[in-house]
Amino acid sequence: MPFLMLTAALALGIWAIIALVRGSVFISTALFLCSTSCLPAEFASVDLGGLTWTLDRLWFATLCAQAAIRWYRGEYVFRGLEPTDLAIGLFFIWLFARTITQPLGSVLPGQPNTLMHLVNGYGIPFGLYAILRTSKLDAKQLVIPLWIMSAMGVYLAVTAGLEIAKVWSLVFPRFIGDPALGIHFGRARGPMLQSVRLGICLIACWTPMVLYSVWLHPQNRIRWVAALGSIPLMWGAVFLTYTRSVWMGLGLTICILVTYCLRGLPQRAAVLCILFGVLGVIVIKGKDLVAFKREYSAAETKESTYMRAAFAYVSFAMIKDRPIAGFGFNQFQVYNRPYLADRSTNIRVESIRGYVHHNSYLSLLVDLGIVGFALYMFVLTASAMQVWRLWSNQRAPRWARGLAVIAMCIGGVHLIQMAFHEVSFSSIENGFLFSAIGLVMAANQQFRHDLTPPQNRDAVAS
């Protein structure tokens, strides 16, 4: 392991120097998303200065230095504040205030460290947003990042299949096969050791793979074959996560792509296939969608569904006691103990003792109160308006408008996961979301002022 870590650090150092001097922030961002998803602390980490340094955190430091050099060279692009910038700024100020007033370390067994929760869940994703939002977009510079993300998607899909087949000798990294690490062992969970995150990454990688193959080149048969060939691989891997919210996210992504990227006969055929597919699943597997065997028994899967009611009941009771400012960031486990002793309801509230929150919306209300929740909704609403503005801008090149479709898909998947999981414990979920929003913001500001005829700008992407 020391030799492996030394080799990885040396390679990272060389690439860091290249990135600082000549690299693209788009490639660096793609590499960060790959490293944070596929090379976590279980792969390699070093404790230094009271912090655990992993490859993704080291690479993020490189990305920040690269952005600083770009600012020094005058390559920083900023055309004024937008509502999304204001929303993110206000939300982060409130989040930071409700963080530093709480214990920053872990105060209960199993409770995430509050400071690292802040850094990973929001600090790094907002940093990615700021870097991409102030970048000048170029179609040619986005090609390599898209290939990197596509390659990661194929790797994750193949790994998912190998996991379920239990071909551990071919699974890399090897720690994926350790049942003592992470959660969801028995499902496809990938190097992130968690099925939900694997599903989010798969969908986030598959969407641009299909979009920029078919939508930009509708007459290219080879691209159509490649896009259709990716469907069984990627959809199969998503299915193997055995996570209902991820399945719902894939379904929504398919609907968005069909609605915005297909026309005529292909669109009508796709709609019919979707309708018959959904109907068939409901008729054949309707009852099994509530209780089916995953890493545990079907009864335990059903119990996990009913636990949602306990989370909701306890959360609403806590919100009523502190509705404005909440209990403080990352404090659900600390303050929910008295509420778990409630015997005035038939809901088994005691069943969630020791669990982190499983609903991001309620988690925001409990931790940050109505103020924090409203500010986060402001962030999502302002971002959605930017996405729609880019899609509606007929003067923007086709490849840039495609960024709006990608943001729709990633945002839709994210909103669904927020209803069933807490999505801010790692830099993966929010990292993909705010990277997509940052690209949309950059495209909006760039092509709102760009008077180049659309046909000339589209020629670059062809």
Q: Give the pLDDT mean for 32-56.
A: 83
Give the tens place of pLDDT for each residue, 350-367. Answer: 888 888 888 999 999 999
* Of 178, 180, 183, nearest in space to 197 by CA: 183
Using alpha carbons, list the distances in angstroms from residue 307 to 8, 236, 304. Answer: 42, 28, 5
Domain boundaries in the chain? 1-76
Give the tens place of pLDDT for each residue, 363-393. Answer: 999 999 999 999 999 999 999 999 999 999 9
pTM of the model: 0.88
pLDDT over threshold 80, residue 122: yes
Q: What burial class does residue 229 get, using C-beta atoms within 10 Å of its C-beta: 0-12 exposed, 13-18 middle, 19+ buried? A: exposed
Q: What is the pLDDT of residue 356?
A: 87
Using alpha carbons, list the distances in angstroms from residue 278 to 232, 237, 248, 288, 365. Answer: 17, 19, 11, 14, 34
C-beta neighbour count of 255 within 10 angstroms: 15
Say if CB 223 and CB 208 are below 8 A apart: no
Q: What is the pLDDT of residue 343?
A: 82
* Of 376, 380, 377, 358, nearest in space to 433 by CA: 380
Q: Give the pLDDT mean for 29-35.
A: 95
pLDDT over threshold 50, residue 299: no
Using alpha carbons, list the distances in angstroms from residue 205 to 199, 208, 402, 410, 432. Answer: 10, 6, 14, 10, 10
Angle value at C-alpha 403, between 81 and 90, nearest 5 degrees? 30
Say if CB 399 and CB 212 are below 8 A apart: yes
Say if CB 382 and CB 405 are below 8 A apart: no
Beta bridge partners of 187: 185
Task: Provide DSSP, 34-55.
Answer: HHHHHS-TTT-EEEETTEEEEH
Instruction: Name every residue whose Cβ is closer than 8 Å to that of residue 157 and which is 6 or more positions away in sequence.
Output: 202, 233, 234, 236, 237
